[in-house]
Structure 1
Amino acid sequence: MSRLLMALCLLFSVMSLSSPVLAQGVMKIGVVNLQRAINEVAEGKKARANLESRMEKIKAEVESRRKELETMQESLEAGEMMLSEQALAEKRAEFQTKYVEFQQMVVSSEQEMGLLQNELTNDLLEKLYKVAQAVGAEAGYNLLLESTAVVYVNGVADITDLVITRFNDKK
């Protein structure tokens, strides 16, 4: 939604500033798919691989804790008849504490991964914007739009491949 809003704001501001261009009769418009560019540039692939590696480690830790809780619960259920009320209450309290810690760990892990993904994406997007602006200026475009915000425009050039190539060449 924010991309669409940003694209519309950009469109209106460029159109209001580009009345001399419109008076000349020719306005060169292009689109770029920044999400595809993020996925296809070398830096994006590397960032995604690092993110997936960290996610796998976190998933393994969560799974290990979940199995530990299951074992603890099975032990608690098996020992219900053999334990004294006090020992049973202590085991239940210990299980409850570990369960709450597990839930907090899951939430914390999800937040950490979301923040990391946003950080990587935002950093890469900023770099891609600069490359797209340079490519657009060099090619003489008056307006570049994010292609996911555009449903259809006749005669618009997609410069995504050029942006990806230029970005990879800069590195």
Structure 2
Amino acid sequence: MIRGRIHAAIAPVALIVLALAAPAAAEFKIGIVDLQRALNESTAGKKAKEQFKGEFDKMQNSLKGEKDRLDKMKDDLEKQSVVLKPDERKTKADEFDRRQRDLRRKLEDSDAELRKKDSELTGDILKDLAEVIQEIGQRENYTVILENSSSSVLYGAKSIDMTDEVIRTFDARKK
């Protein structure tokens, strides 16, 4: 937390120092990129998003079926609790508790699996986007390119936003 504050305080100071050093440099050129937007709007990103949604829907449907069966079991247990013998009620309640724990465990496993899948689907895309950004930066002589969604960029004029160019270059490379 303290390290984050230090980085947040250092980033603007570094930009000011770089800006003051600009007259000494031949040209000072800053660019910003919204990586999240580039990920969401690129062809590969859209494809990954669709694939992730398919996985999510499949898991959700599977878990919904189990949750519905568990809800029905709970309703049946509540309705029958008056007529059941104590040992039968305890057996059914124990079975309900076991299934509830199993469902909770499956939910946690599914959540972890979805996070892993999201990371797999987007990791390579983000790496490739970073390469495209570096290539554009070198080709067009940018001094620095910042990520627009980071907390150190509070404002960036549209004229220095290069997200559209990054998306176009990235999509062209992937064809």
Per the normalisation by structure 2, the TM-score is 0.82
Provide the C-alpha distance between the structure 1 equivalents of 2:120 and 2:8, rounded to a whole number of angstroms: 21
Structure 1 gaps of 5+ residues are none
**Alignment partners' CA distance in 1, 2:8 and 2:91:** 59
Match of 1:34 in 2: 35
Residue identity opposite 1:38 in structure 2: L
Is 1:54 the counterpart of 2:91? The answer is no
Flag the 1:36–1:154 CA change in 2: closer, same or farther, 3 A. Answer: closer
Over residues 113-152 of structure 1, what are the superposed CA-to-partner deviations in whole Å (9 max), with x where a residue is unaligned?
Answer: 1222233232211110000110111111111111123123
**More deviation in 100-109 or 111-120?**
111-120
CA distance in 2, matches of 1:123, 1:4: 29
Q: Which runs of 5+ in 2 are unaligned?
A: none
TM superposition outliers: structure 1 runs of 4+ over 4 Å: 2-17, 19-22, 153-156
CA positional deviation for 1:21: 6.4
Distance 1:155 1:34, change over 3 A: closer
Matched positions, count: 170
- What's 2:148 paired with? 147
Q: CA deviation at 1:11?
A: 8.2
The Cα shift of 1:35 comes to 0.8
CA contact (8 A) 1:80 1:88 kept: yes
* Contact preservation (8 Å) 2:148, 2:156: no
Is 2:160 the counterpart of 1:161?
no
Letter in 2 for 1:143: V
User: In the alignment, which residue of structure 2 is the partner of 1:96?
Assistant: 97
* Distance in 1 (alpha carbons) for counterparts of 2:75 and 2:35: 50
**Aligned residue runs from structure 1 range 57-136, under 5 A:** 57-136=58-137
Give percent identity, aligned residues only.
29
Q: 1:107 to 1:133 in 2, by over 3 A?
A: same
